Amino acid sequence: MLPELHTSIPGPRSREAAEALRRYESRNVTYLDAEFPVFWERAAGVNVWDVDGNRFLDWTSAFGVAGLGHTAPAVREALVDQAGRLLHGMGDVHPTPLKARLCERLSALTFERWGAGRGKTILGNSGFEAVEAALKTALLATWKPGVIAFEGAYHGLGYGALEVAGTPYFREPFHAQLKDFATLLPYPHGPSIPGGDEFPDGPEGWEERLEAQIDAAVAAKPIGAILVEPIQGRGGEIVPPRGFLPLLRRVCDRHGLLLILDEIYTGLNRTGALFACDHSGVVPDLLCTAKALTSGFPLSACVGREAVMDAWPLSQGEALHTSTFLGNPLGCAMALASLEIHARPETAAHVRERGERLKAALRGIASPLIKDVRGVGLLVAIEFALDGLALNNLVKRALRDGLILLQSGPRGDVLGFTPPFDIADLEIDFTAERIATYLS
């Protein structure tokens, strides 16, 4: 449904909540000014209602979580049903069978589906915890501490994940407490090909260059793994050439490195395939998933090939890596319900169709301020010839029209479009028309 606005944006109840945050929340967390933010009260499908009764169209799926739609009925039912019985278990001591079922399901949908044997899982809460579980696993499996990661990458903000952050903004203030085990390499990409492959060609000679850079990094220090997003999300929806993951797989095999895919953003049909690596048929050694896994509960997973995961010693009663809420039953129930829908081939096909429709509409906006429209499935972006501040003003103007948009990229010059999968033609066309107006 299209936006419906009743009061000024932000309305009085949002402004009151903002005032409380200004007083009581750490001032670095929520960005507050006279025009931003609105405070959410409820949501359904592609729509969000704020505390002042305004209805918005959510182009973000709330950071890529609600691909199946906000408050997806099957997921909500699973949550309500579980909430009536048990809210919390003892994750690594006396867990619930839901945890076992989720690990089994994740294995079936990843390594078993890829014909690579069984997958074993470490569950966590936030996405960055899945990345850190993968980093720890890589060390135990290779005894080599170095990790190759990529410029522009975002893997979360815990200290392990910060170490492999490709954006100095997040890393630098805390550099003194980091360990310097990462080698950052350029992430290859080139301009998109309207009407052609969703994956661009890449700059001339990128393959030889990247392979030589990896060879040099491996010669310089003991590297155990390559960690990579199949498409960079927060880094600005950067799509690499189709041959990128196959090249990394080949080089990893040649050097005996583990390939860790961070599919926290790209996974679970966001790109029109269950995982983005399915587009190239590359099987990783470790895979990180979170966000859309539960459709709205903090639960993440690091799933790995059995032989790699078995580098962890057998638990003798005190786990080396665990947390209080590990395998929380509410999250597991929601994940199982979400995966049921994600596993249907028609879900991926629907995302591919919607993604093409969205890109066509955004490419129809005629403006010299648009540099590129790109993306795979419903991980789509417009890159602007505007600075971050100007684009921020556009985002605020869109909010007043009932559109929830999010900037991305290190310069904030990209608008990401990662809507719930059921975004309708009318909603796409309305949004494209509004953006065209802002740019005219």
As measured in angstroms, the least distance from the Cβ of 124 to ligand PLP is 9
As measured in angstroms, the least distance from the Cβ of 159 to ligand PLP is 12
Alpha helices in 108-149 (DSSP H): 127-142
As measured in angstroms, the least distance from the Cβ of 318 to ligand PLP is 25
Please enumerate in sequence order all residues whose Cβ is within 8 A of that of 77, keeping only pairs 6 or more positions apart, or say none. Answer: 337
How far apart (Å, rounded) are the C-alpha atoms in residues 265 and 248?
A: 19
State the residue number with the nearest CB to ligand PLP. Answer: 127
As measured in angstroms, the least distance from the Cβ of 254 to ligand PLP is 26
Query: What is the maximal distance between C-alpha atoms in the chain?
Result: 66
Q: Which residues bind ligand PLP (CB under 6 A)?
A: 63, 126-128, 131, 154-156, 229, 233-234, 262, 264-265, 290
Q: 382 - beta bridge partners?
A: 373, 415
As measured in angstroms, the least distance from the Cβ of 238 to ligand PLP is 12
Q: Is the peptide bond before 37 cis (omega within 30 degrees of 0)?
A: yes
| β-strands 370-376, 379-384 pairing | antiparallel
Please enumerate in sequence order all residues whose Cβ is within 8 A of that of 409, keeping only pairs 6 or more positions apart, or say none. Answer: 235, 236, 237, 383
Which CB atom, from 238 or from 394, has the smaller least distance to ligand PLP? 238
Strand arrangement of the beta sheet that strand 40-44 belongs to: 40-44, 47-50, 55-58, 403-404
Which CB atom, from 234 or from 374, has the smaller least distance to ligand PLP? 234
Which CB atom, from 60 or from 71, has the smaller least distance to ligand PLP? 60
Which CB atom, from 67 or from 156, has the smaller least distance to ligand PLP? 156
Closest of 38, 15, 9 to residue 400, by C-alpha? 9
Which CB atom, from 5 or from 157, has the smaller least distance to ligand PLP? 157
Q: 268 - beta bridge partners?
A: none
Which CB atom, from 11 or from 284, has the smaller least distance to ligand PLP? 284
As measured in angstroms, the least distance from the Cβ of 244 to ligand PLP is 15
Which CB atom, from 188 or from 267, has the smaller least distance to ligand PLP? 267
Which CB atom, from 260 or from 386, has the smaller least distance to ligand PLP? 260
Which CB atom, from 163 or from 262, has the smaller least distance to ligand PLP? 262
As measured in angstroms, the least distance from the Cβ of 104 to ligand PLP is 23
How far apart (Å, rounded) are the C-alpha atoms in residues 94 and 172?
A: 40
- CB-CB neighbours of 138 under 10 Å: 28
Distance of CA 41 to the CA centre of its chain: 24
- CB-CB neighbours of 93 under 10 Å: 10
Distances from the Cα of 174 to the Cα of 135, 177, 178, angstroms: 19, 6, 7
Which CB atom, from 162 or from 432, has the smaller least distance to ligand PLP? 162
As measured in angstroms, the least distance from the Cβ of 132 to ligand PLP is 10
As measured in angstroms, the least distance from the Cβ of 315 to ligand PLP is 25
Which CB atom, from 37 or from 233, has the smaller least distance to ligand PLP? 233
As measured in angstroms, the least distance from the Cβ of 266 to ligand PLP is 7
- DSSP state letter for 58: E
The dihedral through the CA atoms of 31, 228, 231, 420 has a sign that is: negative
Residue with tokens 């949501």: 43
3 state DSSP class of 301: strand
As measured in angstroms, the least distance from the Cβ of 155 to ligand PLP is 5
For 321-362, give the DSSP string: S--TTTT-HHHHHHHHHHHHHHTSHHHHHHHHHHHHHHHHHH
Distance of CA 385 to the CA centre of its chain: 25
